[in-house]
């Protein structure tokens, strides 16, 4: 396997392990205030990064645009989730951090979309 999909899967596995531990903690405390942050860690961090990693593993694509996708999409998780947790915890001043993380997330997804669509040029007609 190439380094790019491995980087995606490593980040994704780290996110879901953290997300699951967080879910168990929320359940044990019966305090679900931060449930949307837990959900986004799992969905943006685990599901999205793992799906992107799967695409890069199957396609063999990589290069600078693949790594840009990785940096934007994993950076989005690192920025968005802590600020979202702080905001949900009752500090609305954290909102700009959530917005910054969301912008990174959509830029990462746009890079992914570009990389997926540009693969059409390389496939043989079946
Ligand atoms: C050990 C594994 C996990 C545990 C213990 C756990 C626990 C929880 C808990 C306690 C809640 C709050 C429920 C409530 O508000 O009544 C929750 C919500 C949620 N979880 Fe998890 N979770 C786990 C894994 C996952 C994974 C892998 C995903 C997605 C890939 C996920 C996605 C969600 C979503 C979408 C919500 C709803 C959030 C909301 O209502 O705002 N969870 N989880």
- From the CA of 63, how far away is ligand 1's center (Å)? 34
Rg (CA), the chain: 16
pLDDT one-digit tens code per residue, 37-74 = 999 999 999 999 999 999 999 999 999 999 999 999 99
With 90 as the cut, is the pLDDT of residue 91 above it?
Answer: yes
Ligand 1 probe mutation, 23, 24, 47, most atoms within 8 A of CB: 23
pLDDT of residue 78: 98
pLDDT of residue 42: 98
User: Please, which pLDDT band fits residue 85 given cuts at 50, 70 and 90?
Assistant: very high
Interatomic CA distance for residues 18 and 84, integer angstroms: 15
- From the CA of 17, how far away is ligand 1's center (Å)? 12
Residue 87 token pair: 């905001």
Domain ranges of the chain: 3-119
Query: Residue 23: CB within 6 Å of ligand 1?
Result: yes
Instruction: Answer for the pair 81, 41: CB distance below 8 angstroms, yes or no.
Output: yes
- 105 three-state secondary structure: helix
pLDDT one-digit tens code per residue, 3-43 = 999 999 999 999 999 999 999 999 999 999 999 999 999 99
């Amino acid at each position: 396997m190439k380094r790019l999909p491995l980087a995606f899967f490593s980040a994704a596995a780290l996110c879901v392990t953290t997300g699951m531990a967080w879910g168990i903690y929320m359940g044990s405390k019966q305090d679900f205030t931060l449930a949307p942050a837990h959900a986004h860690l799992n969905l943006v961090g685990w599901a999205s990064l793992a799906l992107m990693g799967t695409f890069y593993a199957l396609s063999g694509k990589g290069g600078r645009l693949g790594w840009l996708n990785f940096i934007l999409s994993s950076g989005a998780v690192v920025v968005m989730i802590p600020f979202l947790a702080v905001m949900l915890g009752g500090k609305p001043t954290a909102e700009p951090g959530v917005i910054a993380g969301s912008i990174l997330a959509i830029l990462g997804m746009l890079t992914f979309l570009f990389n997926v669509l540009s693969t059409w040029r390389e496939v043989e007609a079946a």
